[in-house]
Structure 1
Amino acid sequence: MPVPSDLSVTGDASPRRRNRLSPWLALASGLSALTVALAIAYWAWQPATLRIAVGPPGSDDQMLVLAMAQAFDAKGGPVRLAPIETDGTLQSLNLLGGGKTDLAVARGDLEMPSETSSVAIMRRNFVVMWAPSGRKGAGKSKVTEIAALSGRRIGVVGLGDANVTLLRVILAESGVNPQKVSVVQFGTDHIAEMTQDTTLDAFMMVGALDAKVIADTIAATARLRGEPKFLGVDVSDAIAERHPLYESEEIPAGAFAASPQRPDDKIDTIAINHLIVAPSWFSEDTVAAFTRELFAVRQSLAKDLPTARHIQKPDTDKDAALPAHPGAAAYVDGNERSFMDKYSDYIWGAVLLLSGLGSVAAWLRHYLRREERSLNALHRDRLLTAISSVREATSLDDLAAMQRAADDILRETLACHEDGAIEDGDLAAFSLVLAQFHQAIVDRRAVIGNATKADDADLPTERDGAVLQPFAISTAAR
């Protein structure tokens, strides 16, 4: 009896071999997840390059910013600097307001672009005013205090409006009509001409107390026109209260020379912060990272550039005239966000993305396995139908053939399960049908075996004759 067609393993199994893509789908999903993870890591750890405008060329500010850029590169931290050279603080602020730079170095009393915050104090500039006492044989200077400057000429170092504006504030608060004081401005490259101008009754400079140019200028006027008389700003507290961008400070004795001591006693004056500023809306994390890096390299910078010692943290008070940037304030106050605070949104986004990719991959895999699932269901139905054929089989050879066909179906089903084409529930249903099929095979073999033995008993063989014949002969002989 031929093997029943319902147990034949035909070319229907080929779709499973053609669609056996599980390893490739797993590989593709893994590569996609790895790519996303690497992209996020690369983006998160990529150093931020900040443009910083500073000038004029050759100034202490520019030299310090260039040194900062080199130190940041050498440290390999999360921030890099790209200095932009300008002709002064006004141009630097214009670039900041136009969005052409991320940071700028400028004096705090200049007009800032809207929504500008301080990031760090580069140094504190002090107002230094003095009048020559006059050489021996010449008339003594009558300028001994700021109130005596009315009707006088004063030389101011700096070509911009900032120092002149500050001088007028000091004069007005000191009771002097600014209109009655003649102001002559000199660039830093014409200081020698200023000190030699005998028509000037007093001088004014703004800078750091340890600035060599201030000490040299004072020394030059002392040589040419006698020891200077330093003019104290007695109304410094009132100026600071009415003009928050200015601060009341003191110049200590001997700040500009030790012998002779200049000044011979401390004097009151006005100070203005020289700042690194940034737009208030600029990335808080980036500014915090910049501030952290700046103060990390400050000590090493001071070894070669003494001006780096003046770098200070910004004023984080809520009522500060120029508020600190939120990122700088977070660093100063110790409120920087942790790694999870910064990147939790991106991490959860990546998790959701990977979950979505996994769902898509699972759906695609399920879709591609649809023919294998249909084939498995067909095999199960064939096996169930074949049970009836087993019960009608008439020979052991037929049963053996059907058993071999069932074994082939079993191999196909196990392969499908291993590939994930069918679930455990489908395999359990198949196992139940297979168990019934095997039981039918066992029962039918027993039936066919018993029938064969009965037939053999009804038909004597040559062996039977060989046995009976001697027995008959023996009986007759007796």
Structure 2
Amino acid sequence: MPVPSDLSVTRDTASRRRYRFGPWLALASLLSVLTVGLALAYWVWQPATLRIAVGPAGSDDQTLVAAIAKAFDGKTVDAKGGSVRLVPVESDGTLQSLNLLGAGKTDLAVARGDLTMPPDTNSVAILRRNFVVLWAPTGRKGTPKSKVTEIAALSGRRIGIVGLGDGNLNLLRVILGESGVNPQKVMTSQFGTDRIAEMTQDGTLDAFMMVGALDDKVIAETIAATTRLRGDPKFLSVDVSEAIAERHPLYKSEEIPAGAFAATPQRPDDKIETIAVNHLIVAPSSLSEDAVAAFTRELFAIRPSLAKDLPGASHIQKPDTDKDAALPAHPGAAAFIDGNERSFMDKYSDYIWGAVLLLSGIGSVAAWLRHYLRREERSQNAQHRDRLLTAITSVREANSVDDLASMQSAADDILRETLACHEDGAIEDGDLAAFGLVLAQFHQAIIDRRAVIARTDDTEKPAKPGGAVLQQVPISTAAR
């Protein structure tokens, strides 16, 4: 009896199906996981690069910012995982620095706190506090003494101001107005820092004004120069400094200590009340909180080492974090200063869970795709199982051991393909169990049919002469 065609299957089919999708899907899944993981790690740990506008060239501000940038480059990633690269962008001065910031061409800017800031600008750090220094020469020996001994006496006088922008001029007007002097009755002349010698030699000037740090050598040298040419200075006290600070929150009431500009002779000889304004690093509120927090943290970490080579670095202070401050601190800087920085999980837990969900989704899609691509294999496996079940009837009707052997061989091929499909994930454990039940019935039918064929062969063999019957063992049974 020929082998039923429904049991026919080629061994190449099993091999092709087994290796068609499994390894490639596993490799694709692994590469997807690695790609997402590497992208997330790169995004989290890459250094933040911040551009900072500062100028003019050769100024103390530019020198300090260049030193900060160099220190940042030599600093490794800190314990909190933050790292910042600072790229100075040269400008003509604080006004251009703020214009660059407002245009989005820089991330940070160095500027004085009383200048007009771009919208939504926050403070990041105070580089120093600038003090207003007003003085009038008293006249040399043999010349008439100056009548300018207080700010009220400046009406109708001419003042030389160091600085070409509107910042110092506007500040002088505020001081004059709050001191009861009409600013319109005070004449002013502005000089750049490269024209200080010209200013000190101008005999038409009745007083001088400069704004800067107390340890600024330029201020001390300018006072010394006017002293040599015009006599000892009379420092003018801003007696209404507290009222000014109350009405103009960007200004602070401060005192210039005795001997701030010279020790011998002591200048001034006593403390002087005045106005101060912060010189700041500012940033837009839209700048990343994490980047600003990392910048602020590293700035104050390197401050002690910077101060060894640049004494001006010792003036760096933390900004005012009060919510009602005239110029609010950036949320990132405030978080560092107030100790409210978010932990790694606080910052990135949403992204981590998002990545987990994304990977889970990728896995689900891959599983669905794998299941979809193997739908033909599952269908064929079900057909093989049904054929094997149908073949049990053919086994019971087989007339020779050779037919049984052929059917057994075909069943082995089906088993081989089924096991390969299960290993490759095309069929589930339940499908394999159902197939195993049918296969067991098939094997039992083979065994039973072999026994029947063997008995039939024995009864049909002729007896030998003398009445003896030759007992023959069927080849198929012996083989079995």
State the TM bucket, normalised to the shorter chain: over 0.9
2:371 equivalent in structure 1: 366
Question: Counterparts of 1:459-474 in structure 2 under 5 Å?
Answer: 459-461=462-464, 465=468
> C-alpha distance in 1, partners of 2:22/2:11?
21
Larger Rg computed on CA atoms: 1
Equivalent position amino acid for 2:464 in 1: T
1:141 maps onto 2:146 in alignment: yes
Question: Counterparts of 1:323-472 in structure 2 under 5 Å?
Answer: 323-456=328-461, 459-461=462-464, 465=468
Given candidates 250, 254, 263, the residue that maps to 2:259 is 254
Q: Which moved more, 1:187-196 or 1:68-77?
A: 68-77
Aligned to 1:417, the other structure's residue is in SS state helix
Aligned to 1:262, the other structure's residue is in SS state coil
1:266 equivalent in structure 2: 271
Equivalent position amino acid for 1:166 in 2: L
Question: Counterparts of 1:11-160 in structure 2 under 5 Å?
Answer: 13=13, 16-17=16-17, 20-77=20-77, 78-160=83-165
Equivalent position amino acid for 1:431 in 2: G
Given candidates 248, 253, 260, the residue that maps to 1:243 is 248
Give the deviation of 1:430 after TM superposition.
0.1
Question: Counterparts of 1:188-207 in structure 2 under 5 Å?
Answer: 188-207=193-212
> C-alpha distance in 2, partners of 1:246/1:412?
86
Check 1:401–1:151 CA distance in 2 against 1; reply closer, same or farther (3 A cut).
same
Aligned to 1:387, the other structure's residue is in SS state helix
2:4 equivalent in structure 1: 4
Check 1:148–1:399 CA distance in 2 against 1; reply closer, same or farther (3 A cut).
same
Equivalent position amino acid for 1:347 in 2: I
Contact 2:14–2:416 (CA<8 Å) still a contact in 1?
Answer: no
Aligned length: 465
Contact 1:125–1:207 (CA<8 Å) still a contact in 2?
Answer: yes
- Alpha-carbon RMSD across the aligned residues, in angstroms, is 2.0
Aligned to 2:228, the other structure's residue is in SS state helix
Equivalent position amino acid for 1:9 in 2: V
Aligned to 1:265, the other structure's residue is in SS state coil
Give the deviation of 1:15 after TM superposition.
8.4
Equivalent position amino acid for 2:58 in 1: G
Given candidates 190, 193, 200, the residue that maps to 1:185 is 190
Give the deviation of 1:424 after TM superposition.
0.6
Give the deviation of 1:249 after TM superposition.
0.6
Give the deviation of 1:45 after TM superposition.
2.1
TM-score, L = length of structure 1: 0.92
Equivalent position amino acid for 1:60 in 2: D
Check 1:420–1:428 CA distance in 2 against 1; reply closer, same or farther (3 A cut).
same
Q: Deviations over 1:98-117 (max 9, x none)?
A: 22221111110111111111
> C-alpha distance in 1, partners of 2:469/2:37?
88
Q: Deviations over 1:325-358 (max 9, x none)?
A: 1111111111112222222232233223222222
> C-alpha distance in 2, partners of 1:246/1:464?
137
Contact 1:19–1:368 (CA<8 Å) still a contact in 2?
Answer: no
Contact 1:92–1:106 (CA<8 Å) still a contact in 2?
Answer: yes
TM-score, L = length of structure 2: 0.92
Structure 2 stretches lacking a partner, 5+ long: 78-82, 471-480
Aligned to 2:127, the other structure's residue is in SS state strand
Give the deviation of 1:289 after TM superposition.
1.7
Q: Deviations over 1:242-293 (max 9, x none)?
A: 1111000111111111111111111111000001111122222222222122
Q: Deviations over 1:68-113 (max 9, x none)?
A: 2222222244322222111111111112222222111111011111
Q: Which moved more, 1:94-103 or 1:444-453?
A: 444-453
> C-alpha distance in 1, partners of 2:356/2:469?
87
Give the deviation of 1:300 after TM superposition.
2.1
> C-alpha distance in 2, partners of 1:230/1:241?
23
> C-alpha distance in 2, partners of 1:45/1:256?
47
Contact 2:47–2:85 (CA<8 Å) still a contact in 1?
Answer: yes
